[in-house]
Structure 1
Amino acid sequence: MSGANTVTEQLTPAGRAIEHDSFAVIDREVGPHAYDEHQWPIVRRMIHANADFDFNGLTDFHPRAVEAGLAAVLGGPTRVVADVEMICVGLSQPRLAHFGMTTHQFISDADVIADARAQDTTRAVQAMRKAHRLGLLDGAIVGIGNAPTALIECVRLIREESAKPALVVGMPVGFVSAAESKDLMATLADVPWIVIRGRKGGSTLVVAAIHALLGLAEASQQQAATKG
């Protein structure tokens, strides 16, 4: 590769040094793991985001997850469809802009709230349905970190309404249906996914996973430029 990433790194030398030192600590202390060279940077950044080594083991990948995610990022412009605004705010806009990516979330839209009340469902369910109606799910990276019902609905849309995301980063946190929603996502073979098994998760983990994916994509760009 031609050198260190520039777009997907911290903007100052001091910031980069702290982040790199943190990754080095994680590499020393994590112990054995079964992740490959492309999966590990994603898991490592997730551990970095929460200082929780349990994500070594809890994080599970569809066999084509990283490949599909990189293809979506590099083949853009690609959408990130999130269950909550926190994911959209947490993602680095300069990093997304480098790849021509945009973010979308509908959790607080008036029509979403009205439909949730009328149909006795959650806002998260209706937000996923709205994204599908607008044609935003197909080819998108779907990031779900808060609402298990959003992930369950995403699975239903894939199975019953032919939604075709490029990748689902399914990491909702919680005590009601969180673990079950991720286990359900992991039954899908045709749509790649990254999930955290069990109750743990959260929007910060989704952001970390997507940022790691962007870092891998920039490294791939550099490698292609060097070969060219």
Structure 2
Amino acid sequence: MKEFLTDPHQIERESMRIIQGHLQLDWTEQELKIVERCIHTSGDPSLEPVIRIHSQAIEAGLEALKRGALVITDVEMVRAGIAKKQLAQLGSTVECFLSDFQVAAQAAEWGITRSMAALRMNKERLKGAIVAIGNAPTALLEVLELAKDPQTRPALIVGIPVGFVGAKESKDLLWEEHQELPSITILGNRGGSPLAATCVNALIYLAVKREI
């Protein structure tokens, strides 16, 4: 019977060693932490060429985390994946507004998705926050609209919605037309809640100086 690694730290170290052997592009040391974890989470080295990290994204994200900025997610699945223990060490918390009982009614009144309504109803909390979108392209569109106002502009947008209706287009809009906003994204249809959480966690681990 084949022997399997069972020590979690050894498994992670070996995973990163294997991933490093697949990498083709030049990344900074800090960018590598994000890229490696995205590939680790997806199990897909072919993701590398479509990962985009704004030149100011890591600096903005780390500065926000170190001052205890709020992390806001579009769905509970992203919130569930955030490393809350390490985030708490930085004096920060993570919130998702989607479950607020008023969101559905307000979304119906405005004629928009619940993800959009949840963010719009809490727009004042976006200022200086890290916003992680892993599911809804419409949520990313709403964040981009709200970010036009300095009073509701996040410090960093992690925009990685997944799917075939609007996902690619919303990420193209983020990356191609909003370079004034520090962001991390994965172009195309791929993405999802685990990847959005992974990017935020990579920044959290950098902030708390976690070795792996």
Query: TM-score scaled to structure 2, two decimals?
Result: 0.91
The residue aligned with 1:10 is none
Which residue in 2 is equivalent to 1:197?
A: 187
Alignment of 1:68-147 (within 5 A): 68-74=60-66, 76-132=67-123, 135-147=124-136
With over 3 angstroms needed to count, the CA separation of the structure-2 counterparts of 1:78 and 1:34, relative to structure 1, is same
Of stretches 143-152 and 183-192 in structure 1, the one that deviates more from structure 2 is 183-192
Match of 2:9 in 1: 16
Instruction: Please state if 1:38 is matched with 2:27.
Output: no
Higher alpha-carbon deviation: 116-125 or 144-153? 116-125
Q: Compute the displacement of 1:162 (Å).
A: 4.5
Q: How far apart in 1 are the matches of 2:112 and 2:84?
A: 32
Larger deviation, residues 30-39 vs 123-132: 30-39
3-state SS of the aligned residue for 1:159? coil
> Does the CA-based 8 Å contact 2:125-2:152 persist in structure 1?
no
Task: Find the counterpart in structure 2 of residue 183 from structure 1.
Answer: 172
Unaligned runs of 5+ in 2: 1-5
> What per-residue deviation string (whole Å, max 9, x for no partner) do you get for residues 64-114 of structure 1?
01111111112x211001000111111122111111111111112221100
* Count of matched residue pairs: 205
* Partners of 1:81 and 1:131 within 8 A in 2: no
- Alignment match, 1:65: 57
1:218 corresponds to 2:211: no
State the Cα deviation string for residues 153-184 of structure 1 (Å, max 9, x = none).
10011125742211000000010010111111
Does the 8 A contact of 2:84 with 2:94 survive in 1?
no
Over the aligned positions, Cα root-mean-square deviation in angstroms equals 1.7
Q: Which amino acid aligns with 2:43?
A: A
SS in 2 for 1:46: helix
For normalisation by structure 1, the TM-score amounts to 0.85
SS of equivalent residue, structure 1 residue 39: helix
1:50 to partner: Cα distance: 1.2
Equivalent residue letter for 1:206? A
Unaligned segments of structure 1, at least 5 residues: 1-12, 223-228
% identical aligned pairs: 40
| Amino acid corresponding to residue 219 of structure 1 in structure 2 | K
